[in-house]
Amino acid sequence: MNYPHPLIAREGWPFLALAVAVALVVTWFGGWWSIPFWLAALFVLQFFRDPPRVVPAEAGAVLSPADGRIVVVGKARDPYLDRDALKISVFMNVFNVHSNRSPVDGEVRKAWYHPGSFLNAALDKASLENERNALHIVTAEGRDVTCVQVAGLIARRILCYVKAGDRLTRGQRYGFIRFGSRVDVYLPPDARPLAQVGDVVYATATVLAEFPTR
């Protein structure tokens, strides 16, 4: 799926149109009383921004699937493929870009959707208790990557536009999460992490880890 990056995510067009329309009406009738409504419209505008990104060319690079802050880097059990893995989690607050991009080139082998709670996405238990959508992606080299969109305290809508059998390229836009949330990536244990807890990362532009060359 080719997404042309129109700067404002298509998911936000209805929200932005409504916010601007309300602000205009209040301006017409209330003058200066409309300032909070224009601020709300600016918030909607910044939330749904979707800038284009340059895709790093390094072989074996695993790219960040989301903008945000790293909250987990370490060994874990991948609950979807039942395997040992390196887990890297990116927490997105309401001021981050919420467009999600593929971390690797590969084929989507399976997708899972799980309804759940809406805990603070910065908490590690949100990975297993919150509403989430997971993709199993297999690279051309046969490496398994699990990428999981997780809803947050405010988020109430996970959008994923790919299914089993689709092919993704690194940096390709595949989904969106409305408002604060996180994305978990489970990698083979031999992947070398390049990100650390606390790092600020950017979807596509930041390399989270790398696979050893064969």
* pLDDT tens figures, 150-161: 986 665 678 999
**Contact by Cβ (8 Å): 194, 207:** yes
Structure tokens at 121: 């996405």
Residues of the chain with pLDDT under 70: 1-6, 116-129, 152-156, 180, 214
**Domain residue ranges in the chain:** 7-50, 61-210
Q: How do strand 192-193 and strand 207-210 relate by DSSP bridges?
A: antiparallel
34 is a catalytic site residue: no
pLDDT of residue 120: 56
The CATH architecture annotation of domain 61-210 reads Distorted Sandwich (2.70)
Q: How do strand 207-210 and strand 61-63 relate by DSSP bridges?
A: antiparallel
**Contact by Cβ (8 Å): 191, 209:** yes
Catalytic residue (choose from 64, 99, 102, 181): 181
pLDDT of residue 5: 55
| Main-chain dihedrals φ then ψ at residue 112, nearest 5 degrees | -125, 140
